[in-house]
Structure 1
Amino acid sequence: MPVHMSESSQGSRGKGAGLGLALASALAFGGSGVAAKPLIEAGLDPLHVVWLRATGAAVVMLPLAVRHRYLLRRRPALLAGFGLLGVAGVQACYFAALSRIPVGVALLIEYLAPALVLGWVRFVQRRPVSRAAALGVVLAAGGLSCVVEVWSGLSFDVLGLLLALCAACCQVGYFVLADQGSDAGEEAPDPLGVIAYGLIVGSAVLTVVARPWNLHWSVLTGSAHLNGATVPAVVLLAWIVLIATVVAYVTGVLSVRRLSPQVAGVVACLEAVVATVLAWVLLGEHLSAPQIAGGAIVLVGAFIAQSATPAKGSAEPVASGGPERQLSVPGTSA
């Protein structure tokens, strides 16, 4: 006799899966800096590392792009927007900001994205936002400022701050576009196809920005130093491409489909915590007491946001995914 799960049970399982995917995405994205820094110190330009990252991932995802080529006809705007904002825009604006303002300040401004997502949901989509989700954003932003020790490198550069804000806006576009079609049932665009074409578009745009014809290819045939250990440069590049890009984007988009853009955005703040901890373990960059406390605050904020429930009487979830999000991604339930 078949056992039928209740709608609430399916919703809980979908939300749990979404949270797990969001955490996996934060872990994967957070490991990119630790692998990229030795390559940069070995002689690669930061923008060239970004181009290698996007282009390598696009090549890996190319078979999926061919399989879902119907998306070019049905969703061209979605694919172009995801590539321009979610792939090329975030990376290019963030690295451009780093050339003018401290890393901690740029990172903090970029991760204002969850607050901007809440603003989008509340004022553009005109959907109610739960207090728990808003509190989670505030706590995550406050904790993040401690993790990056923003006070240690304060400097005022208008253009640098604007570039970092552009990176935050592009990240908002990533979360919003990743959620497109999540309530369309069988008509929802396949997330793997969207990611594949987004990486292809992003790679094309970054080719113009990074000018890879000036890349020092000889660096990739040598070795890089990781906290005293010698590691083949190609191994670090493989990690950046396969884990920090392909796995990170796939799990990130799937998490948005199962949760919501605003909750996935808050959980994504853990990326900065993961990056800081990995830099401590693998690069010997020690954490201070405020950084450890800030990481704990980010965790609390993410937990509060993901456990938020829709406002009573609301027709649509505003801070958590329901069973419709779990069942709306064809072919990805496994």
Structure 2
Amino acid sequence: MTDDRVQEVTSPRTAAGLTFALICAASFGASGAMAKGLLAAGWTPAAAVTARIVVGALVLLVPGVVALRGRWHLLRENAGFVVGYGLMVTAVTQFAYFSAIERMQVGVALLIEYIAPVAVVVWLWLRHGMRPGRLTALGGVVAAVGLVLVLDLVSGGADLDPLGVAWATLAMIGCATFFVLSAQADNALPPVVLAAAGLAVGSLGLLGAGAVGLLDMTWTTEPAVYGTTEVAWWIPVLGLGAITCAVSYTSGIMAVRLLGSRLASFVALLEVLFALLFAWLFLGELPIAVQFVGGALIVAGVVLVKLGERSTARG
């Protein structure tokens, strides 16, 4: 597979990939804090994520058409891939994440979601026979211990909703799917086209589910509250769509195609740090001390996983 190559850290390709990965992490990291202001104002998770994806699709519509350059057959030939990408990666993943942060802190939900790099390693092992080495296995154990601490299962001190944990786990599965599918560099669809088409499919899926009553699409024009500050509802909606959706997905796809799913999923862990930063700035949220320790162990575990996989690739 293209994403299994060992990248040289000094190569222009890797430098460009790291730049796109950082842009993706920062923009994705702001989504939870922005969305929570809308949720507190009375928006349901389904309404917030639908508004985010619809705006993102509209923002990328013209750039996507331009990048396609009249090659509409590419969409027809990759219709199944685009539909799967749009429904699972954009619609299900973001709905699950927004449902999680409705019930728990942004940082904790994101730390659970970003067990995804380990899931990517497991998938590559089961699907492609790429068995992880000792260092990779050790990283998985360390990340698992970190998850126990993030959930504060030992002392029971964290106020976590079990359904919120379930939603965050589903978001983790969707996040892993994003890295695996986006890594297909041999796909002829340009990144901005894949992002635009995927968001369009996700929008249609969510709007359809809302129209038949499967999802609660309650929304309001009440101001969104961030700490002690109120802003007009349309400001976070535009921010969610243009910044945390259109920019995030486009830069994320470019990063994964340049770096491969493993390295890109590792760099994407920086989204956790950005999310904690934005949650602190916008909402005044910080995890408790033991959850900070757990988060550090999760990051350390995933670093070990990546180092182990890289050593295997070199061998």
TM-score range normalised by the length of the shorter chain: 0.7 to 0.9
Gaps of 5+ in 2: 1-5
Name the counterpart of 1:15: 14
Q: Distance in 2 between matches of 1:125 and 1:14?
A: 25
Percent of matched pairs sharing the same residue: 33
Shift of residue 82 of structure 1? Answer: 1.0
Q: Is the 8 A contact 1:139 1:300 kept in 2?
A: yes
**Alpha-carbon deviations, 1:263-297, whole Å to 9, x = none?**
32233233233222321222222453334444544
SS at match of 1:189: coil
CA change 1:192–1:131 in 2 (3 A) is farther
Q: How far is 1:247 from its partner?
A: 1.3
How far apart, CA to CA, are the structure 1 residues paired with 2:171 and 2:286? 27
Task: Indicate the residue corresponding to 2:78 in structure 1.
Answer: 75
Aligned to 2:190: 190
How far did 1:44 drift?
A: 1.7
Aligned length: 298
With a CA cutoff of 8 Å and minimum separation of 6, indicate the structure with the bigger relative contact order. Answer: 2
Report matched runs for 1:162-173 at 5 Å.
Answer: 164-173=168-177
State the superposition RMSD in angstroms.
3.4
Measured in 2, the distance between the counterparts of 1:278 and 1:82 equals 28
What is the aligned partner in structure 1 of residue 312 from structure 2? Answer: 311
Q: CA distance change for structure 1 residues 116 and 49 in 2, over 3 Å: closer, same or farther?
A: same
SS of the residue corresponding to residue 312 of structure 2 reads coil
Which whole-Å CA distance do the structure 1 matches of 2:220 and 2:261 have between them? 38
| Alpha carbons of structure 1 residues 271 and 139: separation in structure 2 relative to 1, 3 Å | farther
1:222-261 alignment, distance < 5 Å: 223-261=223-261
2:288 is equivalent to residue 288 of structure 1:
yes
Once the two structures are TM-superposed, the CA of residue 121 in structure 1 deviates from its matched residue by 0.9
Distance change in 2, residues 1:306/1:171 (3 Å): same
- Superposed displacement of residue 50, structure 1: 0.5
Query: CA separation in 1, counterparts of 2:169 and 2:314?
Result: 35
TM (norm. structure 2) is 0.78
1:120 and 2:119 are equivalent in the alignment: no
Kindly state the Cα deviation for residue 90 of structure 1 after the two structures are TM-superposed: 0.8
Instruction: Tell me the CA shift for residue 135 of structure 1.
Output: 5.0
Unaligned runs of 5+ in 1: 1-6, 315-334
Match of 2:3 in 1: none
Partner of 2:28: 29
Relative to structure 1, the CA distance from residue 106 to residue 203 in structure 2 (aligned partners, 3 Å threshold; closer, same or farther) is same
Sort the Cα spacing of 1:127 and 1:30 in 2 relative to 1 into closer, same or farther, 3 A.
same
TM-score when scaled to structure 1? 0.74
Asked whether the equivalents of residues 51 and 210 of structure 1 are also in contact (C-alpha less than 8 Å), the reply is no
Amino acid aligned to 2:232: P
